Structure 1
Amino acid sequence: MTRYILRRLAISFGVLLVGSFLMYILTINSGDPLEDLRQSTANNREVLIEGRIATMGLDNPWYERYWDWLTGVAGCFTGNCDLGTDRSGTDVLSMLGQSASATLRLVTIATFAAIIIGIIVGILTAIRQYSGFDYVVTFLTFLFFSLPVFWAAVLLKEYGAIRFNDWIADPQISPLQAVIVGVVLGFILQGVMGGPMKRRLFTAGSTAAFAIIALLYFTYVGWWRSPALGPVIVILVSVAFAVGLTALISGLGNRKVLYSTLATVAVGSVLYFALDPLLEEPNWWLLFGLLASAVVVGLVAGYFLGGYSRGQAMGLAAVTAVFMAGMTFTDHLVYAWGGFLELKSRPISTIGASTPNFQGDFWETTLDWGTQLILPSILLTLVSVATYSRYTRSSMLETMNQDYVRTARSKGLSERTVITKHAFRNALIPITTIVALDFAALIGGAVITETVFGWRGMGAMFREGLANVDPDPVMAFFLVTGTAAVIMNLLADLAYASLDPRIRR
């Protein structure tokens, strides 16, 4: 395996080298970097031209300029990274640090959201093949996949930002609106759950009733502007997640695994109160440390309580710990929403990755950072989730018709075991390829999204560098996207070996 990884890294390095050469040649020959100055009527035009020639090194042959860039990139391996400067003399490395952080957090969130939603929807549609739910999801996925990004972005800005900001100033939901929302949610959920008509009617009715009562209650108590979850909701939702995860993966009959996940929730419940003073004004390093500690708690609980299913118990307990940590984090964010609205009356912005000169505590600043991500993340997720759901559906259908799946059913195994332990694992192999390609594609596709939402990310740096015939910013964009593509493809190859042991040989 080590030889295989080293060989793939060597090949990938060669691909990046050739790609960087072609990108550099195409960029410097895409126009005249002095065009704006040649058309200038300024008295010091010649001085400005000479200054730009010196800054960009235009008096040197193209191969010397490329070699200078290449040696600067090579210095990154020794801690002396030099990606050059743009035509105004600004260091590209500092530009890349700011741009890449904005773009990568956007793309990473969209990728993980699309993977989770797309795979779940794909599995459900494969299980419910040719049902009404399957037809509706198929229609929506093709609709989302064909959406023009710029048009969908304008709609999101209108309804997800402008009109929401108007509504949150005085949030009111009338009984008629609550009934409409409840009926729609009930109809959707009964389609997802399926079953005989009696079960469908019960699911739709109970969901609609719960949604109507909740919406009217939240409006009556003013929850929309001063929300809160509290320890009861956090603990109950975490218990439900632990039970549901155990039922899905291991089965409730495996008491050892169930006790491990519930014990993790019990420890997390104690820590919820014990750590509350630390979480009043934390920092990201503290939160990451607490998240790592939560994973350790889950692993320890699974190790000592897992019994003969120790490995599975450790994994599920760790996932439960991460979920409960996320619920605790969400609880503090929700509690800070009221103070955030006092600082920023129109919370969802349509332009920019952050609010200039925003003054707030850690949680309010995080809310500002998060609300800026909502609309572009939704847009990128909608485009990608269509791909994941369709590939998952087709892969699951192909796998579920294999002989080994029929053999598993003939042995009397439950449908849950057949799907999760036999069909889904093998169906993940082609999906892994899509994940690797989609991450790098999203970085490139984020150029349009960032333009519409006014983000100063890598898309803006690439677009301006290309328009100005300025190779160093363009090459910095290529360096990040190309490296991301190489790393994701390498991780995909390692995932292949994990999913199918035959590939290791």
Structure 2
Amino acid sequence: MASFIIRRLIASIFVLFAATFLMYILTSFAGDPLDELRQSNAPNKAELIESRTRLLNLDVPPPLRYFLWLGGIFRGDFGVSVQGQPVNALLGNAITATLTLVTTATIVAIVLGISVGIVSALRQYSGFDYFVTFLSFLFFSLPIFWVAVLLKQYGAIEINNWLADPTFAIPVIIVVSFLAGLLWMSVIGGTWKRRLIIFVISALATGAVMTYLSLTRWFSDPSIGIVVYSALAIGIAFGVTAVSTGLQNRRALYVALGIAGAGIALYYPMMTSLLNGMTLGLFVVYAVATVLVCGAVGWFLGGADRGPVVRTAALTGVLVAAFIALEKYMQYWEAYSNSSRIRGRPIATVGASTPGLGGNFWVQGIDLFTHLLLPTIAIILVSFASYTRYSRASLLEVMNQDYIRTAKAKGLTQRTVVVRHAFRNALIPITTIIAFDVGAIVGGAVITETVFGWTGMGRLFVDGLNAVDPNPVMAFFVVTGALAVLFNLVADLVYAALDPRIKVG
């Protein structure tokens, strides 16, 4: 494997050299960086032209200028822009903004798209499958700029108006309850009697929850509470165990329930003292400690089958802890929403943060969330369609293979057949799509960044092209090209991990 990686990296270096040389030449001949100054009426126009010429080495032919630029790259210097700003600083700010915006959206789109695609494949030709197919093609065909503008109107302006009096009208409760019943009836499936029972239970539960939220004006001052949190923690323990190992693995179930119980016991200490004075570094320490402690519990109590128990324990611990963090964020929602900078309109439409807001770690986290919400939804809606369709088609192809029929004939449960045998092989073609998408994360979402006022990698690239500014354009190209090469290498290694028949060499 080491020799394979070394060969790929060497080949990738030559590819990057050729690609950057071609891109540099094309960018250099795309326009004249001095054109703006030549059309200027400034009295010192000649001095400004000479200064920019020296700054960007414009008196050197582009093929030779490339090697001057390449020498700077080896020193970690991307040069300066036409305005004399260090490109390293511009690149650092752009990467931070783009990663903040796009990473969460991409992860959620991958998880949600693959999950819905799998359920759609398992419920092939059902009402749920037809509904997901319709939504996928609908989202895939929508222009991202139009989705972004609609989200600003109805996801921000109208929602902010509604938050002034966050109640649900009775017709809205009835319609949403009916749709929720249809959704769960289609997802779970079964006989018509079973579907009818699921429909009634789901519709009544949804109606009861919406009525409670409306009467208590929950969205004005949201809170989970110890009772709901306890139910969620126990539900997480059962749900994670069912997916990870199956409920027949009693050891994994008991470990998951023990971790859920520990989360319930720590609820009040966390809310009242342990999470006060939080910083980003301390938050990361808590998150890592949660994974390590829960994994260690699974290891010591896992017995002979430690691997699945460790996985179940770690996932349960992360989700249980996540709801504690969510509850802490909710404690500061009312103060954030009613602050002088927000004035009761918390859903933001422009920018990455509220200027001059201040506040502690939790308030800053809420502010980041409200600014990320709409652009993240826009990216998820567009990406969701492709992941759903690819995962559905891939799983359907795998489920028709001979070894799957053999596994079913041996009497294995549906969960075991899907999770252990079908899902792993279905991920192989999806891995290619994910590798390209993750490699393109830092490339930025140009239109989304423009509509929502984010200055990320996409804006850096477009602004560099418009200003005929070669160094920011090349910085963008080097970063995205290197990531594309890297994640294609990672995809090859993941292939070998997913399918033992594939040999890396």
Class of the TM-score when normalised by the shorter of the 2 chains: over 0.9
Aligned CA distance change for structure 1 residues 266 and 12 (closer, same or farther; 3 Å): farther
Matched, 1:241 2:240: no
1:204 is paired with a residue whose SS is helix
Does the CA-based 8 Å contact 1:380-1:442 persist in structure 2? no
Matched, 1:167 2:166: no
Q: What CA distance in whole angstroms lies between the structure 2 residues aligned with 1:442 and 1:134?
A: 29
Alignment of 1:27-42 (within 5 A): 27-42=27-42
Q: Which residue of 1 aligns with 2:386?
A: 387
Q: Which residue of 2 aligns with 1:268?
A: 263
Alignment match of 2:304 (pick from 301, 304, 308): 308
Q: Which residue of 2 aligns with 1:61?
A: 61
Q: Shift of residue 480 of structure 1? A: 2.0
Q: Which moved more, 1:326-335 or 1:419-428?
A: 326-335
Alignment match of 2:140 (pick from 142, 145, 149): 145
Matched, 1:439 2:438: yes
1:262 is paired with a residue whose SS is helix
Alignment match of 2:317 (pick from 321, 324, 349): 321
2:95 is paired with a residue whose SS is helix
1:117 is paired with a residue whose SS is helix
2:219 is paired with a residue whose SS is coil
Aligned CA distance change for structure 1 residues 374 and 48 (closer, same or farther; 3 Å): same
Q: What CA distance in whole angstroms lies between the structure 2 residues aligned with 1:253 and 1:192?
A: 23
Q: What CA distance in whole angstroms lies between the structure 1 residues aligned with 2:277 and 2:16?
A: 43
Q: What CA distance in whole angstroms lies between the structure 2 residues aligned with 1:25 and 1:59?
A: 15
Q: What CA distance in whole angstroms lies between the structure 1 residues aligned with 2:33 and 2:56?
A: 9
Q: Shift of residue 396 of structure 1? A: 0.6
Code of the residue aligned with 2:32 in structure 1: it is D
Alignment of 1:186-335 (within 5 A): 186-276=181-271, 277-335=273-331
Does the CA-based 8 Å contact 2:255-2:309 persist in structure 1? yes
Q: What CA distance in whole angstroms lies between the structure 2 residues aligned with 1:331 and 1:475?
A: 44
> Deviation string for 1:160-195 (max 9, x for gaps)?
111111111222222222222222222222222222
1:501 is paired with a residue whose SS is coil
Q: What CA distance in whole angstroms lies between the structure 1 residues aligned with 2:83 and 2:173?
A: 56
Alignment TM-score, normalising by the size of structure 2: 0.95
Q: Shift of residue 208 of structure 1? A: 2.0
Does the CA-based 8 Å contact 1:264-1:297 persist in structure 2? no
Q: Shift of residue 31 of structure 1? A: 1.0
Q: Shift of residue 445 of structure 1? A: 5.8
Q: Which residue of 2 aligns with 1:4?
A: 4
Q: What CA distance in whole angstroms lies between the structure 2 residues aligned with 1:70 and 1:453?
A: 34
Q: What CA distance in whole angstroms lies between the structure 2 residues aligned with 1:354 and 1:72?
A: 34
> Deviation string for 1:362-382 (max 9, x for gaps)?
111111111111111111111
Code of the residue aligned with 2:58 in structure 1: it is L
Q: What CA distance in whole angstroms lies between the structure 1 residues aligned with 2:276 and 2:444?
A: 38
Q: What CA distance in whole angstroms lies between the structure 1 residues aligned with 2:11 and 2:225?
A: 53
Identity score, percent: 49
Q: Shift of residue 461 of structure 1? A: 1.0
2:304 is paired with a residue whose SS is helix
Q: Shift of residue 387 of structure 1? A: 1.0
Q: What CA distance in whole angstroms lies between the structure 2 residues aligned with 1:164 and 1:393?
A: 33
Q: What CA distance in whole angstroms lies between the structure 2 residues aligned with 1:203 and 1:89?
A: 65
Q: Which moved more, 1:63-72 or 1:132-141?
A: 63-72
* Cα RMSD, aligned residues only: 1.7
Does the CA-based 8 Å contact 1:256-1:306 persist in structure 2? yes
Q: Which residue of 1 aligns with 2:486?
A: 487
Code of the residue aligned with 2:183 in structure 1: it is I
**Structure 2: segments with no counterpart, 5+ residues:** none
Q: Shift of residue 503 of structure 1? A: 1.8
Q: Shift of residue 328 of structure 1? A: 1.6
Q: Which residue of 2 aligns with 1:20?
A: 20
Matched, 1:50 2:50: yes
Code of the residue aligned with 2:378 in structure 1: it is L
Q: Shift of residue 316 of structure 1? A: 1.3
> Deviation string for 1:117-171 (max 9, x for gaps)?
1111111111111112111111111111111111111111111111111111222
Q: Which residue of 2 aligns with 1:128?
A: 123
Q: What CA distance in whole angstroms lies between the structure 2 residues aligned with 1:87 and 1:159?
A: 40
> Deviation string for 1:460-488 (max 9, x for gaps)?
11111111111111111112212221222
Q: Shift of residue 442 of structure 1? A: 4.7
> Deviation string for 1:227-261 (max 9, x for gaps)?
11133333321221121121223121111111222
Aligned CA distance change for structure 1 residues 268 and 70 (closer, same or farther; 3 Å): farther
Does the CA-based 8 Å contact 1:263-1:301 persist in structure 2? no
1:137 is paired with a residue whose SS is helix
Q: Shift of residue 360 of structure 1? A: 1.8
1:504 is paired with a residue whose SS is coil
Q: Which moved more, 1:405-414 or 1:61-70?
A: 61-70
Code of the residue aligned with 1:452 in structure 2: it is V
Matched, 1:85 2:84: no
Aligned CA distance change for structure 1 residues 482 and 235 (closer, same or farther; 3 Å): farther
2:63 is paired with a residue whose SS is helix
Q: Which residue of 2 aligns with 1:396?
A: 395
Q: What CA distance in whole angstroms lies between the structure 1 residues aligned with 2:126 and 2:210?
A: 30
Q: Which residue of 1 aligns with 2:413?
A: 414
Q: Shift of residue 407 of structure 1? A: 0.6
List structure 1 segments (4+ residues) > 6 angstroms apart after TM superposition: none
Number of matched pairs:
500
Q: What CA distance in whole angstroms lies between the structure 1 residues aligned with 2:301 and 2:223?
A: 34
**Structure 1: segments with no counterpart, 5+ residues:** 76-80
Alignment TM-score, normalising by the size of structure 1: 0.95
Q: Shift of residue 443 of structure 1? A: 4.3
Code of the residue aligned with 2:219 in structure 1: it is W
Does the CA-based 8 Å contact 2:79-2:88 persist in structure 1? yes
Q: What CA distance in whole angstroms lies between the structure 2 residues aligned with 1:87 and 1:58?
A: 11
Q: Which residue of 2 aligns with 1:78?
A: none
Q: What CA distance in whole angstroms lies between the structure 2 residues aligned with 1:156 and 1:212?
A: 26
Q: Which residue of 1 aligns with 2:368?
A: 369
Q: Which moved more, 1:286-295 or 1:223-232?
A: 223-232
> Deviation string for 1:377-397 (max 9, x for gaps)?
111111111111111111111
Does the CA-based 8 Å contact 1:261-1:298 persist in structure 2? no
2:139 is paired with a residue whose SS is helix
Aligned CA distance change for structure 1 residues 286 and 215 (closer, same or farther; 3 Å): same
